[in-house]
Amino acid sequence: MHYQKFPLKWWYGLAFNLSLVALTLAVMLVIQRSPVELVIIDAATGRLYGRWSVKNGSEFAVEFVHSVNQSPVKDTFMVSGTTIRPVSTRFKSFGAGMQTELEPGQRLTRDGDAMVITGFTQSFRKLRYIVGTVSDHSLFINGAEISLRDLCGKNAHLVIRLYRTVLGLSPASLLHEVQAAHALALQGTMPF
């Protein structure tokens, strides 16, 4: 039988490619198991207002007084990886700007004097809110209530997102560091 030898370069190439695949899989595994942060940033500038560690399956909520019908609304969401899934919307009165029809799978129930819609099927990468000028918006997260007016200011245009943190850094924290360095550069007080 004739035995054909493979050139040594071929073996090096195979070993390099297998190593590259193993490294890629290891990085993907680290990222998938990395902690998640909920971040609030300014929609126009990307300024970081706040960030909170959250666990997969945990819930957070945003509560506000609806600007048209002047009644409280509380939207509750669940963390699903880096995806935001609506859990429920709780409100006290129908009116302009409020959901008037149920989508397939949704259910409307009463809880005391409030109506609650559940059964949402869509998910979001980000949420957008405009903090009220008359009434505040509140974020309920990890057992705390945070005034978004105090945190961000009246009429602030916000984006709420979930990011994975790798080695303690999230894209939002990196952006914050770049913005801080930029501000120092503008002041002429760079630390290096």
Task: Render 87-143 in DSSP notation, one character per residue.
Answer: EEEEES---TTS--SPPTT-EEEEETTEEEEE-----BSEEEEE--SSS-EEEEETT
In whole angstroms, what is the distance from residue 88 CA to residue 106 CA?
10
The SS3 assignment for 22 reads: helix
181 vs 161 pLDDT, higher one: 161
In whole angstroms, what is the distance from residue 124 CA to residue 77 CA?
10
pLDDT at site 4: 58
CA distances from 65 to 62, 94, 99, 156 (A): 10, 13, 15, 16
At 73-94, the pLDDT tens digits run: 899 999 998 899 999 999 887 6
In which residue are the tokens 């390099």 written?
16
Could you tell me the residue ranges of all domains in the chain? 37-187
Non-local CB neighbours of 73 within 8 Å, separated by 6+ positions: 63, 64, 65, 66, 89, 90, 91, 98
At 9-64, the pLDDT tens digits run: 666 677 777 777 776 666 555 555 567 899 999 988 888 999 999 999 999 999 98
